[in-house]
Chain A
């Protein structure tokens, strides 16, 4: 099993969610995230007041999946979340030892 983790632009979340649902992904976890990559933070000015934005708001998506589906999910996230501009985010995959469903106690792929 694998966990696919994506950091995407917040406004792309709905699109990514719909796309994943469309290919039968049963569940995903999202959280607000902030950070910087090459995009860096920046300074914004309006009407005299200056803000420094050190971290850029993003959304983090996590999807637990069987090994065979990883590539499809990764590609789907990349395709859907891409705007072609800086700050589109990243996707990475990590191996998972074990997964349990709390309600039933099912383990492994059954718990996905």
Chain B
């Protein structure tokens, strides 16, 4: 391709009549004979004469390319203009370094090129700083080629641009420059040149294939093109293509960073004159972390070198790094080793460079063999940006950011145990790419790994649980109805305690942010936060819904008037949401809840929610019911009837159970599709003063009355009841105390309560005759 263009330009040159010295030169990929199907063709007409004549002559060069539809980058410049531009503009400078003579006066082309290279050496520091900065910026945008799922082959960090940037830096320090120039000044090791050449060839092959496949000019290797590109370059499939590419880009990236570090760093000192100690056997020499020659390479020293490098934000010395590559990782870790590892993980963004260095020499896989499987592992998923290994590191970095943040989310993250949170982040996707559910497989792998790391049993339990459940919050928040108490109760049961909840919430935020912008919208953030809040209320106070203590106080205050009367009082109102609210105040006595709920049921009031509280000071109980007036009977007369019936039920004059039984039989929901499962959960630990019982059951007429009757029959008091109904299911939570006002803990009694509830709620909902 480059040859063909050369021929065309030379043919045109034969016909051009231009006075004075002139030359047609190639720049950019054309100069390097690296033209891809979608490349621009950069051509410059250098001339020593008048601009207008040159401009006219230039057009005869450009026309054949314009006619052929080639995208041509063209310019007409005098040598002086070309050099002045190079002095101002990085791209113009690098173009000059690669300049190649095509036609005309070869001497002129050579002269401009050598003056350009001399200028590069004169501006050494500025040029290298600019190239280094541009190279670093490519890690943020478009991002690291090795770890992006849809990388930019040209501009991505570790891509073609980095390969070229190294060659250009070479010209800033030596002549001949390029990669050998960097070797000459000790910025590259001699072996690096062959690696860079192979990388350059590989990247070019992929870029050419990409342009062929897409027929376009984009250098982004989108997922939809990866199969076709793999076929063109002869990789077995898209995953193989991406792994190979990742390997190449990691080498380029690592060599590049190393070279720029050495170029930027102070001249290498002798005998450690400016060395300071960082840790036992570890020092900082010339800005690099060094493991002293007499210190052995062990798991301990390797981890401490890594932690020192991460915390000092300094690269690990290359000779030290080479030694670390031989570390024997099969030994069990000590407490200090784990602490050093956690220090690495807590170092934020700096940990990425350190782990990449360790990975480059194979030390990371020796320390953590489980890592081998996720290295450069692509993920076929529309949300993810990074390969699995980089995603895991990004998640750790996001955790660090969260731990440093002033927000409430930060407070929650800081409540979690630091080492467990960071280890969970580091390991949460460790099961990816293996057969089976990655959360399950990952939990097994994490368990084995953490045992080798010697983590305490409690810690292993928490981290393994977090790995297994790392999608629980995100999935529940986005796919379940958070207004449904059953969702919250199930979630709370799955989490178990606030330690796990705090950790999992922080992990969810970090994991989502590390995944990609599409995975953490503000909508999802709000839902996750809401779920966390609900779960937290459940696990802290043992209640579903609003915070218990505050709610209880507010309700009692609101009805202070009713309570002050000291006798039975009933109040009705219509709520904002259209439901009826019936508030009953009465002297507290056994069976009060069962009686009120039962009489309400008889009057056709469908209970959708209820809360009952006892005011221990006055000995009064307050019960608030919300629901629907099913038969429209609750007008003024109906309300008076209710009060009369309630009095007679409390006096024992009304055969309440008999009438309820008839009613339940009559109005039972006959729909066979209704979920009739009943579950009763007894939790003696949820509250300090009472035993908490949760009942989840189909919402049937008289359900609350039936449950309350069980408590009355078994001689337990209900100090708080929270009832809520969604669709066809009800979730009822009761705080129980025994006859002496103490918390019932006798396992036999609790077992009896549970069994009685299950028995009555599953045997056709018929209450037994009063005993």
- What residue of chain A has the Cβ atom nearest to residue B409's Cβ? A49
Q: How close is B543's CB to chain A, nearest CB, in angstroms?
A: 13
User: In the complex, are the beta carbons of B523 and A57 less than 8 A apart?
Assistant: yes
Task: From A34, A45, A53, A85, give the contact of B483 (CB < 8 A).
Answer: A85
With a CB–CB cut-off of 8 A, which chain A residues contact B537?
46
C-alpha spacing A32/B522, complex, angstroms: 8
- CB atoms of B530 and A83 under 8 A apart: no
B478 at interface by CB-CB < 8 Å? yes
A49 lies within 8 A of B411 (CB): yes
Query: Are B529 and A11 in contact, with the CB atoms below 8 A?
Result: no
With both beta carbons as reference points, the residue of chain B lying nearest to A55 in the complex is identified as B526
Per the 8 Å Cβ criterion, residues 472-490 of B in contact with A are 478-484
Interface residues of A in 15-58 (CB under 8 A from B): 32-34, 44-47, 49, 51, 53, 56-58
- Given the complex of chains A and B, what is the CA–CA distance between A47 and B529 in angstroms? 13
A9-B577 Cα distance, complex, nearest whole Å = 19
Within 8 A of B (CB), among A57-101: 57-59, 83-87
B521 contacts A by Cβ under 8 Å: yes
Roughly how many angstroms separate A59 CA and B547 CA in the complex, as a whole number? 28
Asked whether B726 is an interface residue with its Cβ less than 8 Å from the other chain, the reply is: yes
Q: A46-B537, A47-B540 are in contact. Are A10 and B523 (CB under 8 A)?
A: yes
Residues 517-574 of B contacting A (Cβ, < 8 Å):
521-524, 526-527, 529-530, 532-533, 536-537, 540, 547, 550
Instruction: Give the contacting residue for A57; candidates B480, B527, B550; CB below 8 A.
Output: B527
Does the CB pair A47–B536 fall under 8 Å?
A: yes
A14 is an interface residue with CB less than 8 A from chain B: yes
- Answer whether residue B727 sits at the interface, using C-beta atoms and an 8 A cutoff: yes
Given A51-B408, A83-B726, A86-B577, does the pair A32, B521 have CB atoms closer than 8 Å? Answer: yes
Are A34 and B522 closer than 8 Å at their CB atoms?
yes
Complex: chain A residue closest to B546, CB-CB:
A45
With both beta carbons as reference points, the residue of chain B lying nearest to A45 in the complex is identified as: B547
Question: CA–CA, A60 to B651, complex, Å?
Answer: 56
Looking at the complex, which one of B411, B577, B727 makes contact with A83 (CB distance below 8 Å)?
A: B727
Interface pair A53/B523, CB less than 8 Å apart: no
A84 vs B540: C-alpha distance in the bound complex, in angstroms?
Answer: 30
Interface residues on B, range: 20 to 34
Report chain A residues within 8 Å CB of B726.
83, 85
B757 CB to nearest chain A CB (Å): 27
Give the CA-CA distance A34 to B521 in the complex, in Å. Answer: 11
B508 to chain A, nearest CB (A): 15
Chain B residue with the shortest CB-CB distance to A85: B483
Q: List the A residue with the shortest CB-CB distance to B502.
A: A47
Q: Which of A9, A44, A84 contacts B530 (CB 8 A)?
A: A44
Complex CA–CA separation, A10 to B532 (angstroms): 17
Cβ distance B422 to chain A, nearest Cβ, rounded Å: 23
Q: How far is the CB of B78 from chain A (nearest CB, A)?
A: 47
Q: Knowing A11-B481, A83-B727, say if A53 contacts B526 (CB, 8 Å).
A: yes
On chain B, the residues within 8 Å of A85 by CB distance are 483, 726
| CB contact list, B675-728 vs A, under 8 A | 726-727
Q: Which of A9, A10, A44, A84 contacts B533 (CB 8 A)?
A: A44
Residue on B nearest A87 in the bound complex, by CB: B483
Nearest neighbor of B518 in chain A, beta-carbon distance:
A32
- Whether B483 lies near A83 (C-beta < 8 A) is yes
List of A residues within 8 angstroms of B408 by Cβ: 49, 51
Q: Which residues of B contact A84 (CB under 8 A)?
A: 727
Check if B533 sits within 8 Å of A34, measured CB to CB. Answer: no
Given A45-B547, A83-B726, A32 and B524 contact (CB-CB distance below 8 Å): yes
B481: chain A residues at CB < 8 Å are: 9, 11-12, 83
Q: Are A32 and B483 in contact (CB under 8 A)?
A: no
Q: Are B479 and A11 in contact, CB atoms less than 8 angstroms apart?
A: yes
Chain B residues lying within 8 Å of A56, measured Cβ to Cβ, are: 526
Say how far B548's CB is from chain A's closest CB, in angstroms. Answer: 12
CB pair A57 B529 closer than 8 Å: no
- List the A residue with the shortest CB-CB distance to B479: A11
Q: Which residues from 629 to 658 on chain B have a C-beta closer than 8 Å to any C-beta of chain A?
A: none
A59 to B484, CA, bound (A): 18
Measured between C-beta atoms, what is the minimum distance from B225 to chain A in Å? 16
Within 8 A of A (CB), among B360-412: 408, 411
B533 contacts across to A, CB distance below 8 A: 44, 46, 51
Contact across chains for B521 and A11 when beta carbons are under 8 A apart: no
Interface centre among A9, A57, A84, A87 (most CB of B within 10 A): A57
Bound Cα distance A13, B480 (Å): 10
CA of A12 to CA of B408, assembled, Å = 29
How far apart are A51's CB and chain B's nearest CB, in angstroms?
Answer: 7
Across the two chains, which residue of chain B brings its CB closest to A58?
B523
CB distance from B14 to the nearest CB of A (A): 46
Instruction: Report A-chain residues with C-beta under 8 Å of the C-beta of B478.
Output: 10-11
- Apart from A9-B481, A11-B478, list 19 A-B contacts with CB within 8 A: A10-B478, A11-B479, A11-B480, A11-B481, A14-B479, A34-B523, A44-B533, A46-B533, A46-B536, A46-B547, A47-B536, A51-B408, A51-B529, A56-B526, A57-B523, A57-B527, A59-B523, A85-B726, A86-B577
| Across the A-B interface, the 9 shortest Cβ-Cβ residue pairs | A57-B523, A32-B523, A49-B408, A32-B521, A46-B533, A57-B526, A46-B536, A11-B479, A44-B533
Q: List 30 A-B contacts (CB under 8 A).
A: A9-B481, A10-B478, A10-B479, A11-B480, A11-B481, A12-B481, A32-B521, A32-B522, A32-B523, A33-B523, A34-B522, A34-B523, A34-B526, A44-B530, A46-B537, A47-B536, A49-B408, A51-B408, A51-B529, A53-B526, A53-B530, A56-B526, A57-B524, A57-B526, A83-B481, A83-B483, A83-B484, A85-B726, A86-B577, A87-B483
Residues of chain B touching chain A, judged by Cβ–Cβ distance below 8 Å, are: 408, 411, 478-484, 521-524, 526-527, 529-530, 532-533, 536-537, 540, 547, 550, 577, 726-727
A residues near B (Cβ < 8 Å) are 9-12, 14, 32-34, 44-47, 49, 51, 53, 56-59, 83-87
